[in-house]
Structure 1
């Protein structure tokens, strides 16, 4: 083979190789990619209407109290309920969003004077000084301060059955005896000296939702609604 023929053959082979390589790359590029997996649809948890909550009757009573004391409250978007029909092992302190129609719930202690036998159930209310008991009725949340229990919120009693609240230093504060660990060990939480004692780690959230100037309503309704 002369030099001209050799060069022609070499160029032809190089061209074929280039075309084959390009075709191979094109074939690889054209291969269909697997479709990205589609996540399953997320079904939102249904929100139980406030009217169907276990504390619905207490909420009705609290709304009536909010209307009764309307001149005391500019903030009517949220209220707190202490449902003392429930035992202390249950989440029975409910902050209710009256605008959004939902709530968040917490553990709360009752006073030792309201449950002398430490049964875990509130038996009686008292407004008397040194009774160490819980008091029923409507309260107005006040100043947040640092006291003997750490951060706490003052309360003013608005009814005849709780109007000694400030004199008795009835407040919302955190306590170590209000916890899931305490329930696991004893089947109930501890008792306060009449204050609304809540879990320490939940106190900042609770105080943030309530803030000064809103209503806290506490009661234990009988089967007949008394």
Structure 2
């Protein structure tokens, strides 16, 4: 009786270390896979950025933009994945901060001045809003939509893909040309002109740019605002390796 009782106590103790070791191994395997996935995206984004060969492009803005682009691509929310447009609102409006990136050739096809909303700031944009009549720029990821002829000529509608820009269409936030977006205007006024919230482009080449990015490409308006970056799922959730490999 005592022998049976002793075996009953000892046997579970013998098997428990094996069970615990296997669980720990599986846990470690998951961590390794997650770590490899993260490292792969970081390496991918660094390599891509180096191939663009433009140190003026903020790497953080590019990396966030690329991550969101890949996630939207993986979710089949983009009908044209050839182009990724990044607008870096951390830069002065007197600098070229509009980047049209060809993701297939990994080149910057167009680099341009771009206006921000009049209530977002003077030379620098520092305030952003999704509210109607705020006349401020809105941060985050957009999908380009249809073109149309409006009061500013050939223009491109935008659909916001996040909480931070969901009212873009209602607010008539579009890409259009403006005579106040030029080096000449900067020379005469000390800064670029401002819009009612639209990312307005110079009159030169704007038709070419709109024709390239219309109908389903990704556009990302960046600013290092913790309030946005901490809430954006497209920024905080890392793109999977499947999107990178596709």
Higher strand fraction: Structure 1 or Structure 2? 1
Equivalents in 1 of 2:164, 2:214: separation in Å? 23
Equivalents in 2 of 1:112, 1:123: separation in Å? 11
| 1:125 Cα deviation from its structure 2 partner | 0.9
Q: Is the 8 A contact 1:50 1:56 kept in 2?
A: no
Task: Name the counterpart of 2:30.
Answer: none
Equivalents in 1 of 2:137, 2:159: separation in Å? 14
User: What TM-score, normalized by structure 2, do the two folds share?
Assistant: 0.67
1:141 pairs, out of 137, 140, 144, with: 144
What per-residue deviation string (whole Å, max 9, x for no partner) do you get for residues 177-199 of structure 1? Answer: 00110011122210000001111
Higher helix fraction: Structure 1 or Structure 2? 2
What per-residue deviation string (whole Å, max 9, x for no partner) do you get for residues 97-116 of structure 1? Answer: 1121210201100001111x
| 1:51 Cα deviation from its structure 2 partner | 7.0
SS of 1:208's partner is: helix
Q: How does 1:25-104 map to 2 (within 5 A)?
A: 49-50=51-52, 53=55, 54-70=57-73, 71-103=76-108, 104=110
Q: Is the 8 A contact 1:128 1:164 kept in 2?
A: yes
Q: How does 1:112-123 map to 2 (within 5 A)?
A: 112-115=118-121, 118=122, 120-123=123-126
Please say which structure displays the higher CA radius of gyration: 1
1:207 pairs, out of 203, 206, 210, with: 210
Root-mean-square deviation over aligned CA pairs = 2.0
What per-residue deviation string (whole Å, max 9, x for no partner) do you get for residues 135-191 of structure 1? Answer: 001111111100111110000000000000000000000001001100111222100
2:131 pairs, out of 128, 131, 140, with: 128
| Structure 2: segments with no counterpart, 5+ residues | 1-48, 230-246
SS of 1:174's partner is: coil
SS of 2:155's partner is: strand
Q: Is the 8 A contact 1:95 1:209 kept in 2?
A: no
Runs of 4+ in 1 over 3 A off after TM superposition: none
| 1:222 Cα deviation from its structure 2 partner | 5.9
2:166 pairs, out of 150, 156, 163, with: 163
Count of residues in Structure 1 that have an aligned counterpart in Structure 2: 176
Q: Is the 8 A contact 1:92 1:105 kept in 2?
A: yes
